[in-house]
Chain A
């Protein structure tokens, strides 16, 4: 659930980019960082290995502005995609309000996509959460690969019931990045408004 500070008039929401290694999660954040005006974003923090693979997380705070007198802020995180960093992934999911699942269009990453989604479900379950209780959108990235799989095939292994909104993206070119973020943010805000 979002952190609400009534006295300071602040609402903070946490959005996590999840997905297999090298699918483009960090690139999404870098695109957001490069295109959002400086006064609306904070510093981007990257805890990465020497070869720029995410070790713990990337972090980017975004200010939406004031809504009904509440300063509303999104904190964007990525998780490390490499399989062996699961402990870090689980920690980053703590307190998540919305998730962007970034899938890779390459044929040889189809299994990695499926395994990452299964890992997401398992890690949420360990926090006592059903995957359906968190707003999730699906971003199918790297659509410009010459051998990119059809989105229907990727969705079939990640989201066989077609429950998630899907966005095609080329995150290194900024295509589909803002549409994805906007949709998950809207879903989080709607959920916040429905809090009983």
Chain B
């Protein structure tokens, strides 16, 4: 297959969650996501005061696709990659930074939150997250077995007839 499996286990997942929560607490960012390069949400935290988030599947897909397109542009311009993307609107900002080759830290925050502060703390968090994802490269592959396939196929029958 094209991509390796990216599996988050309990302890690693808890540590990723904790680092993103710390980042939200110290910066005032509204939503923090760790998204894999295929566009799937690996972890999501939101500030207690934040309103209901937008459709996270769609956000993750668009962020990952945008990052892939940006990386292709970087290659065409002779760069290995452009490691961060910033999209600033009237009321808010979307900030995306690469976490190694596997994931993207995605932060959404209000215009009142200083971008420079977010960047400083985000870079510290990226280093911590990258170290965790590196550890995961050594975990054994997951075995789901035939029971999983049978159960999933039964659900497919229900969904698609």
Contact = CB atoms under 8 A, between A and B. Distances in A.
Interface of A: 1-8, 12, 14, 36, 40, 42-43, 45, 56-57, 59, 61-62, 64-65, 67-68, 70, 72-73, 75, 87-88, 91-97, 124, 127-129, 133-134, 178-179, 181-182, 185-186, 189-190, 192-193, 195-196
Chain B interface, >50% SS class: helix
Contacts of B39: 14, 75, 95
Q: Which 8 A-B pairs have the closest CB atoms?
A: A7-B13, A95-B38, A193-B149, A95-B3, A1-B5, A61-B57, A182-B160, A1-B1
Given A87-B69, A193-B145, 10 more contacts: A1-B3, A5-B8, A7-B9, A7-B12, A8-B8, A68-B144, A91-B68, A95-B38, A97-B1, A189-B156
Nearest to A44: B58
B2 A2 contact: no
A5 B141 contact: no
A132 to B, nearest CB: 12
Contact of B13 (A5, A94, A97): A5
Contacts of B6: 3-4
A189 B159 contact: no
Given A3-B38, A91-B65, A193 B148 contact: yes
16 contacts: A3-B7, A4-B7, A5-B42, A61-B58, A64-B156, A65-B159, A67-B148, A75-B61, A91-B68, A94-B37, A95-B1, A95-B2, A96-B1, A182-B156, A186-B156, A195-B5
Interface residues of B, number: 48
Contact of A92 (B65, B142, B151): B65
Contact of A6 (B10, B40, B145, B155): B10
Contacts of B146: 193
A5 B10 CA distance: 9
A91 B9 CA distance: 28
Contacts of B42: 3, 5
A5 B72 contact: no
Contacts of B13: 5-8
A42 B56 CA distance: 9
A43 B2 contact: no
A88 B1 CA distance: 19
Given A3-B36, A185-B160, A189-B156, A195 B143 contact: yes
A81 B151 CA distance: 35
A29 to B, nearest CB: 13
Contact of A64 (B55, B72, B145, B159): B159
A2 B57 CA distance: 15
Contacts of B156: 64, 182, 185-186, 189
